Amino acid sequence: MTRLCRAALLLLSAACATSDLQPLPDRTPANESIAGRFFPYAMKVHTLPNGLRLVTVPFDSPGLVAYTTLVRVGSRNEIEPGHSGFAHFFEHMMFRGTDRFTPAQYEANLHRYGADSNAFTTDDFTFYHIYFKKEGLPAIVEMEADRFQNLKYSQEGFQTEARAVLGEYNKSASQPLFKGEEVLDATAYDTSTYKHTTMGFIEDIRAMPSRYDYSLGFFNRWYTPSNCTIFVVGDFDEAAVTALVEKNYSAWSKKSDAVEIPTEKPQTQSKTAKIAWPTPTLPYVIYGWHTPAAKRDTLDAAIQNLLGSLAFGPASPLYKDLVLDRQLVESIDINYFDHRDPNQYWLDVKLKKAENSAAVESALHAALAKIASGDIDQKYLDTIKSNQRYSLLMGLETADKIAETLGTAAGPTGAPDALDHLMVQMAGVSREQIAQFVKQYFVETNRTIVTIAHDGEIR
């Protein structure tokens, strides 16, 4: 999965302030309870001596438990030239079995406990999730601990999976927007590892079958206890779960690599790229702007999570003008996700006709200029905050949704309370702070435009 569509980035009441926020330490002391101001359930963090963190959230889901593992390795970690795509590739390899549990045995145990199991990879992390009957908790913990410590696969199995990844890439590349994202990243970045999508450069994917030895090193470098956080949510006994995790994971002693991620220099002039699509399609224009990383000590992520609905969402004046009133545009989709490093905030705009592009760009420029000037309706901003807050709360209705929301929110910073922290920050964002952010980052010299069209160019 190249992008994580996260419905979890929404918010608290505007009455909340951020001045009393106390950051969670990078390594939370064992058995520390976290009192959330947005998140409505009790949360406890237990840290093993090897650095693995266990986050437990009791939840009223009789007989059901969600068990998820966040691994903070994504395509950003792929710093060696010619070796992109391995974080996503390992999402596949993690289901290839160990000496103790073959893939068939692993699947049989999942089936025995009615488990729903899957995984996804993003630019910054990989996430594994299982949802099952609570009777299976001892078996699931044992299997998960075993595969994270003792994954084993043959060269033949590795090559088989590598060819499957190439097939996945080819399927994705048949979609205009996948290619648009790929070209946007390659055009907008010079040195950042975000220059390639999560799947990697096509030439690297084709070369994967010959990278068996490298793959073993990748596993040892990044699948380490201090790089992982386990989230357990649902119907379980706290002491029993903690004991199970300590029993099965305490011997895990690998250490993560310390690598230097390349720093992207500021963009100083507008960039463009064009894709001539080989088959009929409505034309697209993709607009991307470089924006800051999601850091706990800034409001950058909070502002960006609000900005989508405010400037481009279905209730925004821009959407009403382009999609509903003048009907120049089929759709406007917002693509922003919190990242560990400075990244891109991008829109894909599906035009009804190529000749509409100039009018659309003019309207987009005017809408951003209005926000940058501080012309933001406070009531509208408060409504967005309230809508996001309650939409997210309504989504926390099952143990697996809670575990996934907490885990994916924690991905960029590694903090188990990242969701609560972000929500409280968003509630305190002011019109002036949004205006200043747009004025600083949503400018032409910081922008990359990619066009996709079948017949003729988009001018």
Tell me, yes or no, if the two domains 32-249 and 271-453 fold the same way: yes
Confidence of residue 28 (pLDDT cuts 50, 70, 90): very low
DSSP state string for 84-139: TTHHHHHHHHTTS--SSS-HHHHHHHHHHTT-EEEEEE-SS-EEEEEEEEGGGHHH
Quick: pLDDT tens for 226-276.
999 999 999 999 999 999 999 999 999 988 877 889 999 999 999 999 999
Confidence of residue 32 (pLDDT cuts 50, 70, 90): low
Quick: pLDDT tens for 378-412.
999 999 999 999 999 999 999 999 999 999 999 99
- Given a cut of 50, is residue 321 above it in pLDDT? yes
With 0-12 / 13-18 / 19 or more C-beta atoms within 10 angstroms meaning exposed / middle / buried, residue 361 is middle
Mean pLDDT of the chain: 91
- Superfamily for the 32-249 domain: Metalloenzyme, LuxS/M16 peptidase-like (3.30.830.10)
Query: What number is the average pLDDT over the span 325-332?
Result: 97
Measured distance CA(57)–CA(292) in Å, rounded: 31
Quick: pLDDT tens for 70-81.
999 999 999 999
- Superfamily for the 271-453 domain: Metalloenzyme, LuxS/M16 peptidase-like (3.30.830.10)
Q: How many residues in total does the chain contain? A: 459
Answer yes or no: are the C-beta atoms of 211 and 31 closer than 8 Å.
Answer: no
Query: What number is the average pLDDT over the span 76-97?
Result: 94
CA distances from 314 to 171, 318, 322 (A): 30, 9, 11
Compare 197 and 258 and report the one with higher pLDDT: 197
What percentage of residues in the chain have a pLDDT greater than 70?
92
Compare 375 and 6 and report the one with higher pLDDT: 375
Domain coordinates in residue numbering, the chain: 32-249, 271-453
Query: What number is the average pLDDT over the span 104-124?
Result: 95
HSE-up of residue 239 (Cα within 13 Å, Cβ side)? 0
What is the pLDDT, as a whole number, of residue 459?
A: 67
- Given a cut of 90, is residue 35 above it in pLDDT? no
- Given a cut of 90, is residue 349 above it in pLDDT? yes
Phi-psi category of 313—alpha, beta or left, where left has phi over 0 and alpha has psi -120 to 50?
Answer: beta
- Given a cut of 90, is residue 339 above it in pLDDT? yes
